[in-house]
Amino acid sequence: MRETGRRQRAGKTLDILQTIFDLIDMRSFSNLWYWIALAVTWSTASHYVLGVPFDLIVRARRKGGPVAEDMLMLASVNVRRILSIGREAGVTLTLVASFLLSLIVVLGFVFRMEFAQAVALIVVPLSGVGLLSLRTAARLEKVLAADPEVETVARILIRHRVSVQAVGMCAICVTALWGMFQNLQLSPLG
């Protein structure tokens, strides 16, 4: 008698656990870690403006002096680094990135691989941010070549940050809508 009761309780526990695991499966768009990675990616992309931390930009505008010199130095170093990569390996990077982005998009949206869709919804907008960064770096190179004013450099960096945030907000919205669509489409309840 006792053995039968234990088996029934164990069976109910397994049914409840199975139901929970069916509702919270570990696919990309229903995985909490994916959404954490998405949030960290876009917050990092908007915090480090061409490699210059946003708090340094704000302090440089407010305080000036050595903090402003640090911001100008860091911006100058990162602009030269970004542009040298673009000039030396730009064609190769463009070809490789185009191939990889095309591969990910085709795997995700033509062959319907959910993991490739999830990766594509992060890296495609980030490639746009890379192009924006290259354009902003070219603009900053001209400003930094002359005697740069802190306010001018800070304004360009902040404008770039707003552009990155706009791309990030659109990317997060599209990813959230696509993820909800995927989860509703594949839901065991539907």
**Domain ranges within the chain, ordered by starting residue:** 26-185
For residue 71, give both structure tokens.
């911001």
Amino acid sitting at position 166 = A
C-alpha 98/C-alpha 127 separation (Å) is 10
Read off the tokens for 181.
């669509």
Distance CA 153, CA 189 (A): 54
Higher pLDDT, 123 or 24: 123
* The pLDDT of residue 12: 62
Taking 60 as the threshold, does the pLDDT of residue 1 lie above it? Answer: no
Sign of CA dihedral 183, 187, 189, 190: positive
* Residues composing the chain: 190
Q: Are 61 and 150 in contact (CB under 8 A)?
A: yes
Q: Is the pLDDT of residue 25 over 60?
A: no
Comparing 21-30, 127-136, 159-168, 177-186, the range with the smallest average pLDDT is 21-30
What is the value of pTM for the model shown? 0.82
- pLDDT-based confidence at 184, cuts 50/70/90? confident
93 pLDDT higher than 90: yes
For 123-172, the pLDDT digits (tens) are 999 999 999 999 999 999 999 998 889 999 999 999 999 999 999 999 99
| Percentage of residues in the chain having pLDDT higher than 70 | 85
